C-alpha cells in the first residue's frame, strides 16, 4: 500500500505525456528543449525544497500511501516525481493554451465558429 502515491503520480505523468504526444505540445515538439526545461525546473524546485527543509519550513508528514523512502531528511522519493509532474503539467497547459489562443487570434471574424455567412 506504500506505493499508491508514487503510482498515481507516475500514471498521471504518463497520461500527460500521451496528451503531449497526441498534440505535440512539449516533449514531442522539441525533446531537447523539453528535457532541459524539465531538468532545470525540477532542480530549481528541489533546491527550493531543500532550502525549506533546512530552514525548518518543510517537513515530511506521515502517510500510509507514500513509499517511506527518503532521498534526504524530510525529502521523500515521491517529491522529484511530483516536481516532474508539476513541470510537465505546467508546460503542457502553457503550450496547449498558447496554441489555442494563437489559433483563435488568427481567424477572421467571419471564420469564427457559429457565424453564418450572409451570402
Q: What pLDDT digit, counting tens, does each position of 67-119 carry?
A: 888 898 888 899 999 999 999 999 999 999 999 998 877 655 565 566 555 55
Which residue carries 502553457 as its cell?
A: 94
- Mean pLDDT calculated for residue range 62-66: 81
Residue 65 main-chain phi, psi, to 5 deg: -95, -10
Considering the entire predicted model, what is its pTM? 0.82
The mean pLDDT value of the chain amounts to 88
DSSP class of 78 = H
DSSP E strands: which ranges in 33-100? 70-72, 75-76
For Cα atoms 88, 91, 92, give the angle at the middle one, nearest 5 degrees: 85
DSSP class of 65 = S
- Mean pLDDT calculated for residue range 43-47: 97
Any bridge partners for residue 70, and if so which?
76
Q: Give the Cβ contact number of residue 32 at 10 Å.
A: 8
Amino acid at each position: 500500500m506504500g506505493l499508491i502515491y508514487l503510482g498515481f503520480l507516475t500514471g498521471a505523468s504518463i497520461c500527460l505525456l500521451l496528451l503531449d504526444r497526441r498534440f505535440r505540445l512539449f516533449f514531442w515538439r522539441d525533446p531537447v528543449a523539453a528535457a532541459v526545461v524539465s531538468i532545470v525546473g525540477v532542480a530549481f524546485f528541489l533546491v527550493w525544497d531543500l532550502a525549506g527543509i533546512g530552514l525548518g519550513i518543510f517537513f515530511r508528514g506521515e502517510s500510509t500511501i507514500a513509499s517511506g523512502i527518503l532521498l534526504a531528511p524530510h525529502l521523500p522519493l515521491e517529491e522529484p516525481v511530483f516536481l516532474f509532474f508539476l513541470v510537465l503539467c505546467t508546460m503542457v497547459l502553457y503550450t496547449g493554451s498558447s496554441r489555442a489562443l494563437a489559433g483563435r487570434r488568427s481567424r477572421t471574424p467571419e471564420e469564427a465558429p457559429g457565424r453564418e455567412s450572409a451570402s
